[in-house]
């Protein structure tokens, strides 16, 4: 049975700043994802705090929100069979040092915080995150 899902992907400021967005989008397409929505925006710190609210108790929360709002990002809705897990696999581990060969974070990530991409981690969060950026 097919299980086509949508997931939210963000190309983070470190990657947009290095003009890596086309290369990263190419990796999604090569791996069978359809980019069904896409926009380049910059969010403010308040919006970043709202987006990353699940991490509000973490020691890195403030820096993370400052970082995500520090420059333009590309937000996309990706569609594919089992897209949520498939995107997590293509992104690789949170820390690029631990990411496997062939993953986006291995290829482009600079550090645990500047790790080039975000991807939803569950069906529930994918819906919330897609609404956050694309609800009309
Ligand atoms: P994920 O992006 O792989 O889902 P999360 O644990 O959800 O990882 O963390 C969200 C983001 O917070 C990470 O992508 C990374 O940018 C940042 N982050 C996570 N852990 C650390 C840390 O220990 N130090 C600094 N930043 C971190
Ligand atoms: Mg996460």
Of 121, 119, 120, 95, the closest CA to residue 109 belongs to 95
Which ligand is located closest to the Cα atom of residue 118?
A: 1
Number of domains in the chain: 1
How far is 51 from 49, CA to CA, in rounded Å? Answer: 5
89 within ligand 1 shell (Cβ under 6 A): no
In this prediction, residue 1 carries a pLDDT of 83
115 within ligand 1 shell (Cβ under 6 A): yes
In this prediction, residue 52 carries a pLDDT of 98
Percent of the chain with pLDDT over 90: 99
Which ligand is located closest to the Cα atom of residue 66?
A: 1
Flag residues of the chain having pLDDT under 50.
none
What CATH number is attached to the domain comprising 19? 3.30.70.141
Per-residue pLDDT of 14-43, as tens digits, reads 999 999 999 999 999 999 999 999 999 999
Catalytic pick among 28, 118, 120, 130 = 118
Which residues form the domain of 64? 4-134
Burial class for 101, CB neighbours closer than 10 Å (0-12, 13-18, 19+): exposed
In this prediction, residue 53 carries a pLDDT of 96
In this prediction, residue 97 carries a pLDDT of 98
Strand arrangement of the beta sheet that strand 117-119 belongs to: 34-41, 73-81, 4-11, 117-119
55 is an active site residue: no
Is 120 strand, coil or helix? coil
- Supply the residue whose CA is at minimum distance from atom 25 of ligand 1: 113
In this prediction, residue 83 carries a pLDDT of 98
């Amino acid at each position: 049975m097919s299980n086509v899902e949508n997931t939210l992907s963000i190309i983070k400021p470190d990657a947009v700043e290095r003009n890596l967005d086309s290369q990263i989008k190419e990796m999604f397409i090569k791996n069978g994802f359809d980019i069904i929505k896409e926009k380049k925006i910059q969010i403010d710190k308040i919006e970043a705090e709202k987006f990353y609210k699940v991490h509000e108790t973490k020691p890195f929360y403030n820096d993370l929100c400052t970082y995500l709002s520090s420059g333009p990002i590309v937000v996309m809705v990706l569609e594919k069979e089992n897209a949520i897990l498939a995107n997590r696999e293509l992104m690789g581990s949170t820390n690029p040092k631990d990411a496997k060969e062939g993953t986006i974070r291995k290829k482009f990530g600079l550090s645990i915080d500047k790790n080039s991409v975000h991807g939803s981690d569950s069906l529930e969060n994918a819906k919330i995150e897609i609404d956050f950026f694309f609800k009309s």
